[in-house]
């Protein structure tokens, strides 16, 4: 009988269980029961030479894509019939094919159902937005770098490929819908009765501004927890009974699951990142469920979590 390796950390909060594994995700994925996971939200290394603590991000391209095929095949086997794999991949101007090559490597095992663009920064001119947008001025949001290339524009987006087994996994478009600016549409169209329209496939989610990368986000390639949160809501929370992230990093998907109260399983090969991910996940749980000693550690290593705990404490004291 195939068995999962020893779990590094496991905790249960209310009805949700969180399991964290230290090791190789291919090993863990290959030992997971087939069709046991509903949603995978993950971001593998992009092979762009990013400096991780342990992982070497400089494989020859062919070997990297062969490795991608292997982990996607294993991931696909763990997914239920109407499961979803949200696969986040970025690129860099000097290496623009990576994300598309990764999607192609996944193609033999899964169907590409939606292609979402995670927009990290955007500029909107007041004149183009129209009067109804009510802008006082041109708008530029998200982080920008100075103009430093004669060839390339700034890379403001990453892909999130939504794969499923048959391309027919039902999704919950209303769960991440956008309120109609013109509420008269609500009365006019039967499908608009909920008051929201489809968000479409451009999702603007900026990074949180941080003071110190070393202290506040000690990892070179994270996504904001809001990104997995939106993926999970789009898949449909009532059908997201078990969520996995085989490339955990600092645990953004686990944080989203803690906030949403969804069962989670994560794998990370670097112990330091794993510990940070566990602390971040705990700090995203309702503060009343944290053991006081744990809460102290969270305050020490994860200032964002500490701020959240402090806010709840103050609200309770009022």
Ligand X SMILES: C[S@@+](CC[C@H](N)C(=O)[O-])C[C@H]1O[C@@H](n2cnc3c(N)ncnc32)[C@H](O)[C@@H]1O
* 316 contact partners, CB below 8 Å, separation of at least 6: none
Look-up of token digits 């645990």: 251
Tokens of 292: 């006081």
Among 82, 95, 172, 270, binds ligand X (CB under 6 A): 270
Nearer to ligand X, 102 or 267 (CB): 267
Gyration radius from the chain CA atoms: 20
Q: Does 264 bind ligand X (CB under 6 A)?
A: no
Query: From CA 224, how far away is CA 204, in angstroms rounded?
Result: 11
Q: Does 223 interact with ligand X (rule: CB under 6 A)?
A: yes
For residue 278 the two structure tokens come to: 């566990």
Whether 294 contacts 11, CB under 8 Å: no
x/- track of binding to ligand X for residues 271-310 (CB under 6 A): --x-------------------------------------
What is the rounded end-to-end Cα distance, in angstroms, of the chain?
55
If you write DSSP's letter for every residue of 118-138 in order, what string do you get? EE--EEE-HHHH-GGG--SS-
Residue 219 touching ligand X (CB under 6 A): yes
Choose which of 18, 40, 45, 164 interacts with ligand X (CB under 6 A). Answer: 45
Any contact of residue 55 with ligand X (CB under 6 A)?
yes
DSSP-derived secondary structure letter, 270 = -
Instruction: Give 26 or 196: the residue with its C-beta nearer to ligand X.
Output: 26
Minimum CB distance to ligand X, residue 33 (Å) = 19
Query: Of residues 20, 37, 43, 99, which one binds ligand X by CB under 6 A?
Result: 43
* Binder of ligand X out of 249, 266, 287, 305 (CB under 6 A): 249
> Which of 39, 250, 278, 285 touches ligand X by CB under 6 A?
250
CB of 171 to ligand X, least distance (A): 21
Report CA-CA distances (Å) from 131 to 124, 179, 186, 199.
13, 17, 20, 21
Instruction: Between 165 and 273, name the residue whose CB sits nearer to ligand X.
Output: 273
238 close to 263: Cβ distance less than 8 angstroms: no
Place of tokens 């291919």: 26
Among 169, 252, 263, 281, binds ligand X (CB under 6 A): 252
Asked if 258 interacts with ligand X (CB under 6 A), we say no
* Binding range to ligand X, per CB under 6 A, among 24-32, 103-111, 196-204, 258-266: 24-32
Per rule CB under 6 A, is residue 269 in the interface with ligand X? yes
Q: Is 247 in the site for ligand X (CB under 6 A)?
A: yes
Closest alpha carbon to 246 in 50, 55, 82, 21 = 21
- Give the CA distances from residue 125 to residues 76, 118, 139, in Å, rounded to whole numbers and listed in that order: 42, 20, 6
37 is a site residue for ligand X (CB under 6 A): no
Binding site for ligand X (CB under 6 A): 24-26, 43-45, 52, 54-55, 219, 221-223, 247, 249-252, 267-270, 273
């Amino acid at each position: 009988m195939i068995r999962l390796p020893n779990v590094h950390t496991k905790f249960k909060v209310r009805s949700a269980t969180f399991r964290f594994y230290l090791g190789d995700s291919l090993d863990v994925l290959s030992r997971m029961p087939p069709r046991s996971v509903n949603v995978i939200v993950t971001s593998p290394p992009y092979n762009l030479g990013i400096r991780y603590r342990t992982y070497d991000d400089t494989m020859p391209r062919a070997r990297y894509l062969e490795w991608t095929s292997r982990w996607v095949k294993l991931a696909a086997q763990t997914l239920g019939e109407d499961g979803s794999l949200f696969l986040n991949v970025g690129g860099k101007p000097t290496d623009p094919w990576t994300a598309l090559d990764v999607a192609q490597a996944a193609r033999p095992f899964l169907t590409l159902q939606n292609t979402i663009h995670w927009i990290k920064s955007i500029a909107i001119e007041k004149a183009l937005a129209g009067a109804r947008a009510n802008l006082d001025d041109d708008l530029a949001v998200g982080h920008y770098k100075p103009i430093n290339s004669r060839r390339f524009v700034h890379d403001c987006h990453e892909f999130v490929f939504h794969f499923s087994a048959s391309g027919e996994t039902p999704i919950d478009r209303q769960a991440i819908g956008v309120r109609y600016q013109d509420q008269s549409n609500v009365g006019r169209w039967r499908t608009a009765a909920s008051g929201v329209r489809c968000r479409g496939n451009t999702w603007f989610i900026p990074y949180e501004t941080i003071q110190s990368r070393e202290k506040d986000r000690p990892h070179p390639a994270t996504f904001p927890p809001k990104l997995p949160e939106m993926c999970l809501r789009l898949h449909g929370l009532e059908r997201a009974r078990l969520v996995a992230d085989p490339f955990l990093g600092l645990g953004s998907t686990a944080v989203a699951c803690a906030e949403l109260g969804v069962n989670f399983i994560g794998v990370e090969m670097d112990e330091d990142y794993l510990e940070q991910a566990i602390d971040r996940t705990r700090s995203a749980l309702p503060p009343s469920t944290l053991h006081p000693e744990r809460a102290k550690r969270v305050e020490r290593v994860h200032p964002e979590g500490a701020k959240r705990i402090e806010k709840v404490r103050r609200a309770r004291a009022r």
